[in-house]
Amino acid sequence: MAALLGKMSGPSGPLRRLLVRLVLLALAAYFVGPLLFRFAGLGEPGQPPPGFARGVLHGAMMPCTLPTLLVGRDLPIYERNNRGRLYNLGYTVGVNACGAIFFGLLYWRLGRRKTAQPGQSAEARPT
């Protein structure tokens, strides 16, 4: 009976890690999304139109809104009332910088994992 209950305890290994990550992503989206909206200052009345610096901030925060959008909350990710070319340039710089950091870290981690010797974790390998 104990062996049967041990098998029924739920998913294990990679499936369990995936489920835990999905739940954490959903929780982060639920709580972080409104904070991003507030800090971005999108559509605040009485504020001057955003320029380059605010465009960089909005662009860098844009990928962070994906989990929030996936759980069904609608967040604006672009300020329509802006200063034109400067805001657009800042937005583009922010998106690209955030993507470069994310993908740079991802590929660095994958590279470390590939060069790790069999039987040795990437973290335990000397650099």
Span 98-124, pLDDT tens digits? 888 888 877 787 777 777 656 655 555
CA distances from 103 to 26, 91, 109, 110 (A): 21, 18, 10, 10
CB atoms within 10 A of CB 41: 13
User: Residue 106: enclosing H or E segment and its boundaries?
Assistant: helix 85-115
Distance (Å, whole) CA 61 – CA 26: 17
Query: Residues 20-71: pLDDT tens digits?
Result: 888 887 777 777 767 766 766 666 677 788 889 989 988 888 877 777 777 7
Give the residue, 59 or 75, on which the prediction is more confident: 59
Q: Where are the domains of the chain?
A: 13-42+49-115
